[in-house]
Structure 1
Amino acid sequence: MTTVPDSPTSTARQPIGTPATPAAPVRSARHTALALAAVCLGFFMILLDGSALNIALPAIERDVHGSMAALQWVVTIYTIPLASILLTAGSISDRWGARRLFVSSLAAFTAASLLCAVSPNLTVLVVARFLQGIAAGGLLPTTLAIIARTYPDPIERAKAITVWGATGGLALVAGPIGGGALTELLGWRSIFLINVPVGLITLYLAQRYASETPRREARAADLPGQLTGIIALSAIVAYLIEGGSLGWLAPVPLVLLAVAVVTAITFVAVESRSQHPMLPLAVFRRAAFSASITNGFAFQFGGYGLQFMLAIYLQQQWGLSAEKTGVYFLPFGIAWVFGTIVLNRRLVHRGPRFLLWTGALSSFVGSALLLGVTDQSTWPLFAIGTGLTGLGCGVFSPSLNAAALLAIDPAYAGLGSGVLNTARQVGMAMGVALLGSLIGMHDTMLGLRVSVVLVALCFFAIIGLSVAYVPRKETA
């Protein structure tokens, strides 16, 4: 699975002396509705692909004869380029225009999905997933920018963003059920192949009805920061995956760990000296902002890492089919959507701090209950535990961006949103890597319990950091 940027704001500023941003062209209600449909379909494709893939992983393993480490790479090789590109996607959008980047990225994502569907072996599948991740990194940040351009009126824009958010919730519920059904009926390749007709329809709608955003002069690309960041992230994820497969102190994992440490130090040095850093380190001097970024990382590590790990566990240890596994995830998905669309909206007046700690408390209790899960006879505990976890994630996850923006200068809202969403993608990649390695241990029950403890600790950390650092609404 994946997540998306919460703000269309770009970090680039319009130079003095340039013409004012032209108003969006006046369009009929039908045109704007079809433009919104294009954006929501693109968003739906990305989220559906990710949530459906978790259910199909054991079938992929059987077909391509891969290992647990191979399954982890199928997921994380998508997330790594996505996380790395998010911070610079705003600058690319400024140069090209959001619609142009959306259309180009969507075309690339559709083509990469076709390549995934026809992959003859694991190597080609991993390469295709990497290309999907690059395309998604360009696609996701443009969705809200196009909505902002299409709906200049704040009230109408808010309604459109609500529809956009509901689309994400629908994908979250439909992914496990649809992915399981498609895998059982047509095979795992169908979850990628379905992106092709949907992608072509979305391309047509976007090119015909979506408005282009104005192009602006953007800051210079931070190529050294981009390169060292990708290498550092790739190396630490590779260490977590290969360490679980080969042994944490085996020569290859140790080399990967050394590469991760050296390139991470280099990345910090490069960013601290760059005139146009991809990640200005000064933003972390505010404890409230650093806490919000840590919360984003912990949320993605726990919420999505848990889903990946449990999807493998149900099929390998309980012997469930892909379709039945999707049914078992219904409490998780439905409760998440209910928490987002109903509870979060009803309680939003209490401020992000309240939503963060109360939602994380529900997820903490739910994940702790999963410690009692053993064989299939404990399915009621599984349903209650995953339901409470999903409910809590639905309550607090929409407030992560609000908390981060409360802690940063409004002039850097786009940067703050980009850093938060990058941290979330990094958390997901590391969650899948580490929890996948643990569930692949020889003692599966021990791996399950250690994984659940780590997830519960992530939610507990969100409670503590939110109470300690996230400002109250009335004092922000």
Structure 2
Amino acid sequence: MSSTATTTSTAPPGDQQRRPGLVLFMVCVAIFMLMLDATVVSAALADIRKDFDASADGLQWVIDAYSIPLAGVLLTFATLGDRFGRRRMFIIGMAGFTASSLALAFANTIVVLDILRAAQGFAAAMLFATALPLLSVAYPEKAARAKAIGIYGAVMALATVAGPVVGGALVTQFGWRSIFTINVPIGIGIMVLAWLKMPESASSPERRADLLGSVLLTGGLVAGVFALTRSNALGWTSGTVIGLLVAAVILLIAFLAWQVKAKHPLFDLGMAKKPGFSGTAIVSVAHMATLMAASNYIALFLIGTLGYSPLQMGLRLLPISLGAMIAAPLTAIFARRVPLALSLPVTMALVTVGMYLMGNFGHDSEWTHFVPGMLIGGLGLGAITAVTQAASLTFASQENAGMASATFGTLRQIGMAMGIAGLGAMFSRVAEDKTETGLAAIPGVDAVPSDLKEQFIEGIGSGAGHQVVEGVPAQFADSVPALTQVADSASIDAMNALANLGAVIGAVAVVLAVITFAIDSRRSGKVNETTREPEPASV
């Protein structure tokens, strides 16, 4: 997309800047809601599993069905917002988000729940796509804009990590459906306020949405996530999994090829040529694929294996929130003084250290084992959120602010979707293998019907922990202590494997970020050398 396209203002400039504080409030409430709904379900997964007898795959799609539409259509909605008006897109998105939230409260199967979560994700993409561009217009001065973005980043980080706490309180007091109904009155209020008070931003009628690009990107992500989620049940060598992986690769390559030749591409490849883009993109994906994705499985572990209620679980995840709340505003203040080449690898390293410290959970360990890792990882999470939000607007002109912010929003959601699927595949595989081995060592287990054993194994693989023992028939009551020990041991091993995998992914991301920033720095140096004005010859 050309950065030289003309824009036509649909509202007087003075009117656009008259209520910047109100615009910031509406944007922050919207972003809080949509980011909260990305993680709030972690507190409800255990109860959803019980109500719908859901498998690990079904539970993973409760999260991924929300993340994938965010990743697949975010850039399209950013372009549509630039073309038809960001205020209009914001209001439509809030209406869709509110309606889908209400429908989710009445879902009666896991399939219906997953489908409605996808609809909620589409609406959330409209809100996400317009958030930063609206702020960039409301705060045209750099200093004021930096402060607004700092507040926005802090709210975004807080919402992301506060989900388990808010969700835990709601689920404990009112049941899991309340995590969706709470969105309805808030959504209606913001929608009405935006209709009455939010000024319209500049529009570019000549812009066109890249629908084919959206289809190719979404299709590739869906195929890739399906491959990861089905790998446990079918095996990596199964024709279905291999076919899905091949389809994902072909679709994503086709997406990139189309972006090169499309007249109105979804993604402005010119941004990728700018120094710092590749490193920022790597960290944007990696921090979501590690700590943020892992927090959902930590939530299941705290409830299913350590026996905490949803509210107690949420309170025990507060160290992540505390670290993020400390780091995000401080980072926003100092971000302009520290180069991306230093700040992003260092903050990603904090997330990696946090993941590593959360591993090696012992059979006699308490929940406090996770505190150092959650606190350090939370510091990295908050800092990364603030830095990437501010950096995203430096890779494009103000006119292309929607595309720039949406690009990094897309990358984060890709990281979340792939992390949920990949870490979940590791957790389920280790948990099921360890459970099967543990069951074989229990005397008399041969007398247990095979369907009951499979149900037991699948329950632990879905993160139920020793809660799955509650469903053991009365005739096997004597085996409950042994079954509980098997369930706990398998879940602990799976949790440790997940943390270790997250640490490895984080370490690889740090190395790749350092390398890409170094390449960018060397390339920028060469460009500066070739474009430097010649010094006057000495006389």
TM-score by length of 1: 0.88
Question: How far apart are residue 102 of structure 1 and its match?
Answer: 0.1
Opposite residue 336 of structure 1, the aligned amino acid is A
Segment of structure 1 superposing worse, 351-360 or 102-111: 351-360
CA distance in 2, matches of 1:111, 1:398: 30
Deviations 1:436-459 (CA, angstroms, capped at 9, x unpaired) = 122223133443233222211232
Does structure 1 residue 47 correspond to structure 2 residue 38?
no
Aligned residue number for residue 116 of structure 1: 104
The 1:11–1:115 alpha-carbon spacing in structure 2 relative to 1, beyond 3 Å, is farther
Question: How far apart are residue 403 of structure 1 and its match?
Answer: 5.6
Counterpart pick for 2:413 among 422, 425, 428: 425
User: Equivalent residues in 2 for 1:28-67 (5 A)?
Assistant: 31-67=19-55
Does structure 1 residue 24 correspond to structure 2 residue 71?
no
Opposite residue 207 of structure 2, the aligned amino acid is R
User: Equivalent residues in 2 for 1:340-379 (5 A)?
Assistant: 340-343=328-331, 345-346=333-334, 348-375=336-363, 377-379=365-367
The 1:412–1:466 alpha-carbon spacing in structure 2 relative to 1, beyond 3 Å, is farther
Alpha carbons 1:84, 1:226 under 8 Å: kept: yes
Segment of structure 1 superposing worse, 134-143 or 459-468: 459-468
User: Equivalent residues in 2 for 1:206-245 (5 A)?
Assistant: 206-245=194-233
Aligned residue number for residue 463 of structure 1: 510
Unaligned runs of 5+ in 1: 1-9
Aligned residue number for residue 277 of structure 1: 265
Alpha carbons 1:25, 1:211 under 8 Å: kept: no
Alpha carbons 1:348, 1:355 under 8 Å: kept: no
Alpha carbons 1:12, 1:219 under 8 Å: kept: no
SS state at 1:248 partner: coil
Deviations 1:13-51 (CA, angstroms, capped at 9, x unpaired) = 533xx767864334897x543333222211111122222
Alpha carbons 1:12, 1:94 under 8 Å: kept: no
Alpha carbons 1:295, 1:465 under 8 Å: kept: no
Counterpart pick for 1:387 among 372, 375, 379: 375
Alpha carbons 1:24, 1:152 under 8 Å: kept: no
Deviations 1:389-415 (CA, angstroms, capped at 9, x unpaired) = 111222233223556677789997654
Opposite residue 321 of structure 2, the aligned amino acid is G
Question: How far apart are residue 356 of structure 1 and its match?
Answer: 1.7
TM-score by length of 2: 0.78
Aligned residue number for residue 7 of structure 1: none
The 1:347–1:100 alpha-carbon spacing in structure 2 relative to 1, beyond 3 Å, is closer
Opposite residue 262 of structure 2, the aligned amino acid is S
Unaligned runs of 5+ in 2: 435-490, 529-539
Alpha carbons 2:39, 2:163 under 8 Å: kept: yes
Aligned residue number for residue 100 of structure 1: 88
CA distance in 1, matches of 2:411, 2:217: 12
Aligned residue number for residue 14 of structure 1: 5
CA distance in 2, matches of 1:414, 1:97: 11
Alpha carbons 1:83, 1:422 under 8 Å: kept: yes
Segment of structure 1 superposing worse, 314-323 or 130-139: 314-323
Opposite residue 459 of structure 1, the aligned amino acid is G
CA distance in 1, matches of 2:247, 2:16: 53
Alpha carbons 2:75, 2:129 under 8 Å: kept: no
Counterpart pick for 2:255 among 267, 274, 296: 267
Question: How far apart are residue 279 of structure 1 and its match?
Answer: 3.0
Alpha carbons 2:282, 2:513 under 8 Å: kept: no
Alpha carbons 1:339, 1:394 under 8 Å: kept: yes
Deviations 1:404-435 (CA, angstroms, capped at 9, x unpaired) = 67778999765444333322211110000111
Q: Which has the larger radius of gyration?
A: 2
Opposite residue 463 of structure 1, the aligned amino acid is V
Segment of structure 1 superposing worse, 116-125 or 314-323: 314-323
Opposite residue 212 of structure 2, the aligned amino acid is P
Opposite residue 418 of structure 1, the aligned amino acid is A
CA distance in 2, matches of 1:11, 1:325: 48
Aligned residue number for residue 163 of structure 1: 151
SS state at 1:310 partner: helix
CA distance in 2, matches of 1:295, 1:285: 17
Aligned residue number for residue 4 of structure 1: none
Aligned residue number for residue 150 of structure 1: 138
Question: How far apart are residue 184 of structure 1 and its match?
Answer: 0.8
CA distance in 2, matches of 1:396, 1:19: 34
Counterpart pick for 1:258 among 246, 254, 259: 246
SS state at 1:372 partner: coil
Opposite residue 310 of structure 1, the aligned amino acid is I
CA distance in 1, matches of 2:32, 2:20: 18
SS state at 1:120 partner: coil
SS state at 1:266 partner: helix
User: Equivalent residues in 2 for 1:290-309 (5 A)?
Assistant: 290-309=278-297
Counterpart pick for 1:313 among 301, 306, 313: 301
Please provide the CA RMSD for this pair.
2.9
SS state at 2:209 partner: coil
Alpha carbons 1:109, 1:135 under 8 Å: kept: yes
The 1:109–1:37 alpha-carbon spacing in structure 2 relative to 1, beyond 3 Å, is same
CA distance in 1, matches of 2:139, 2:270: 34
CA distance in 2, matches of 1:402, 1:465: 21
CA distance in 2, matches of 1:343, 1:95: 33
The 1:99–1:55 alpha-carbon spacing in structure 2 relative to 1, beyond 3 Å, is same
Aligned residue number for residue 68 of structure 1: 56
Segment of structure 1 superposing worse, 176-185 or 219-228: 219-228
Aligned residue number for residue 472 of structure 2: none
The 1:299–1:276 alpha-carbon spacing in structure 2 relative to 1, beyond 3 Å, is same
Question: How far apart are residue 218 of structure 1 and its match?
Answer: 3.7
CA distance in 2, matches of 1:370, 1:75: 22
Alpha carbons 1:299, 1:458 under 8 Å: kept: no
